[in-house]
Structure 1
Amino acid sequence: MLVQEQLKQIGTVAKESGVPIKTIRYYEELGLLKASGRTEGGFRLFDSDTLSRLNFIKRAQSLGLTLLEIKEFLNVHDQGELPCEHVKAKLQDKLVAIDEQIQQLLILKLELEGLLSGWETIPESSEQTICPIIEQA
């Protein structure tokens, strides 16, 4: 005899995952999650895989991955393959982007330090100048 899997209503999934119902509906709309059916009252029902998918989505988002990127990974998974190579490539891309952002922030930091170091040498006010520190560039 087959044991039927216990399906959970959307409210239970939301409580157990910490993801709001509205977000779960949005993820379903985007194709990240699939409801297994509905109750007689129209509530969405989800299988046990939903919680692991939600955990994966939340963790991937915390690493800077977009919902579109996450959907690609889940599609690979749904085809019976591990998406690890795809994930690795995206994370390497994120690392490159972060390095570029760090360089841009360091340049900005130096520029701000330079502006602030000249703070004491502000000329007298002029009607055509809003703030000479910013405008001296």
Structure 2
Amino acid sequence: MIVPSPPQALKIGALAARSGLPVKTLRYYEELGLLPAVGRSSGGYRLFSEESLRRLAFIRRLKALGLSLEEIQACLAPHDAGLLPCHDIRQQLSRQIGRIDERIEELGLLRVELQTLLGNWQSDPLQDDDVICPNLQI
């Protein structure tokens, strides 16, 4: 469906240039429903509003905080329904803290394992044709 261009409608290439994101990413975001187009030009080009730039900045910020695109979509849903998404965003960020805490614990255990391994490391182990590296008992 061709919709008349809003006064400040941006083609996807212009939106990519202004947002710093590749056109491919913008198409993917549109496909997922994260970035709705306002229509298409008479030539069939996707058209986006100036609001799309703010929306992309919001998406980038949540991605930088470690949220998945699915989680970001859940944060945008209330906004798209005309509500403030702050409560939903807070929940997603709290879950992210939990995941970070789990990852920190996993990394701590990995660090101990590596330290133990290096603490027992033999600089010049005996060669064994059946073993790639005697220091790594597998």
Bucket of the pairwise TM-score, normalised by the shorter protein: 0.7 to 0.9
Q: Provide structure 1 residue ranges, at least 5 long, that are not aligned to the other structure.
A: none
Contact 1:38–1:45 (Cα < 8 Å) also in 2? yes
Relative contact order: is structure 1 or structure 2 higher (C-alpha 8 Å, sep ≥ 6)? Answer: 2
Which residues in structure 2 correspond to 1:20-99 (within 5 Å)? Answer: 20-99=22-101
Scaled by the length of structure 1, the TM-score of the pair is: 0.88
User: Sequence identity, in percent?
Assistant: 46
Q: Report the equivalent of 1:133.
A: 135
Distance across 1 between alignment mates of 2:122 and 2:129: 20
Q: Report the equivalent of 1:11.
A: 13
Amino acid at match of 2:133: C
Q: Report the equivalent of 1:104.
A: 106
Displacement after TM superposition at 1:26 (Å): 0.9
- State the aligned residue count: 133
Displacement after TM superposition at 1:84 (Å): 1.0
* Higher helix residue share: 1
Q: Provide structure 2 residue ranges, at least 5 long, that are not aligned to the other structure.
A: 1-5
Distance across 2 between alignment mates of 1:121 and 1:46: 62
- CA displacement 1:52-77 (0-9 Å, x = unmatched): 11111111111111111111111110
**CA RMSD of superposed structures (Å):** 1.7
